[in-house]
Amino acid sequence: MLKITNLHARIEDEPEGEILKGLDLQVNPGEVHAIMGPNGSGKSTLAYILSGRDGYEVTEGSVSFEGDDLLEMEPEERAAAGVFLAFQYPIEIPGVANMYFLRTALNAIKKTRGEPEVDAATFMKMLRQHAEVVGVRSDLLKRDVNAGFSGGEKKRNEILQMAILQPKLAILDETDSGLDIDALRTVADGVNQLRSPDRGIVVITHYQRLLDYIVPDHVHVLVGGKIVRSGDKSLALELEEKGYGEALAAAGVASPEPALNA
């Protein structure tokens, strides 16, 4: 469903600093891919490029999603097409209630797809169910989007959004950062519930820890803007044990590049 071919990209205002340097990746329905890599390897850049954030320039290569050119689409069109990014740092929107936000998003997507919109009662029922599963307290639904949420609450809220929007391809950008072990488990449970034969999931992470709970089908090592190794879940364990040193050396990179999008 997702095919990334020879992707080169850089930050718009920095012509020198190419971050992705020929990345290839294919994700098929039903697969869970983990992308691991040290800081500055280009993990978040990949996530942002896939979701259409401004400020990045693709200089070479292509990304197709279900046969369409993903890079030509606006962020909201990608969302409607079924691409979902769980943000590493979810954004606060003061004055906008969390549940109102989510319903607006859901109906916007449905409308684009030509599906009937969800009425308030059905939506509330659905929201409560999912909220319970991912451990989002009901008062957080009424509060402003992410405003005053703790780190863990923000991440759970992202997973809740994912559960409601039911994407075809979910990209989780460092969803484990800042979570304690309990929260990690709840978040992982939420993600596992969404695993299905017609859905692809890309988990971006620095540590192996999350992969104990979300077991990937494929693991890729991203270093210096390229995938340098791919393997099954055992690769993650190997990395945990040996660190990224070997992978870095193999890529001909002495040390990680500075974090450009931390």
Partner 1 sequence: MATALETVEAYTGHEYKYGFYTDIETDTAPPGLDEDIVRFISAKKNEPEWLTEWRLQALRRFRDMEQPEWQKPEVGEIDLQAISYYSAPTQKEAPKSLDDIDPEIRRTYEKLGIPIEEQKMLAGVAVDYVFDSVSVATTFKAKLKELGIIFCSMSEAVHDHPELVRKYLGSVVPQGDNYFAALNSAVFSDGSFVYVPKGVRCPMELSTYFRINAAGTGQFERTLIIADEGSYVSYLEGCTAPQRDEHQLHAAVVELIALDDAEIKYSTVQNWYPGDHEGKGGVYNFVTKRGLCRGKRSKISWTQVETGSAITWKYPSCVLQGDDSIGEFYSVAVTNHKQQADTGTKMIHIGKNTRSRIVSKGISAGRADQTYRGLVRVLKGAEGARNYTQCDSMLIGDKCGAHTVPYIEVKNPSAKVEHEATTSKISDDQLFYCRARGISEEDAVALVVNGFCREVMDELPMEFAVEARKLLAISLEGSVG
Q: Rule CB under 8 A: which residues touch partner 1?
A: 51-54, 74-76, 78-80, 84-85, 87, 90-96, 101-109, 111-112, 120, 144-145, 161, 165
Minimum distance between the CB of residue 219 and partner 1, rounded to whole angstroms?
25
**Consecutive H or E run containing 218:** strand 218-223
Minimum distance between the CB of residue 178 and partner 1, rounded to whole angstroms?
18
Indicate the residue among 49 and 236 with the shorter CB distance to partner 1: 49
Cβ neighbours for 148, distance < 8 A, ≥ 6 positions apart: 92
Minimum distance between the CB of residue 231 and partner 1, rounded to whole angstroms?
30
CA distance 55 to 182: 35
Indicate the residue among 191 and 221 with the shorter CB distance to partner 1: 191
Minimum distance between the CB of residue 103 and partner 1, rounded to whole angstroms?
8
Structure tokens at 118: 């969800």
Indicate the residue among 160 and 222 with the shorter CB distance to partner 1: 160
First to last CA, the chain: 28
Q: With CA atoms as reference, report the closest residue to 204 among 91, 38, 71.
A: 38
CA distance 93 to 95: 7
CA distance 82 to 165: 8
Indicate the residue among 145 and 219 with the shorter CB distance to partner 1: 145
Indicate the residue among 28 and 112 with the shorter CB distance to partner 1: 112
Minimum distance between the CB of residue 98 and partner 1, rounded to whole angstroms?
11
Cα diameter, the chain: 57
Cβ neighbours for 251, distance < 8 A, ≥ 6 positions apart: 223, 224, 226, 228
Indicate the residue among 106 and 183 with the shorter CB distance to partner 1: 106
Structure tokens at 26: 């294919």
CA distance 53 to 11: 11
Minimum distance between the CB of residue 168 and partner 1, rounded to whole angstroms?
13
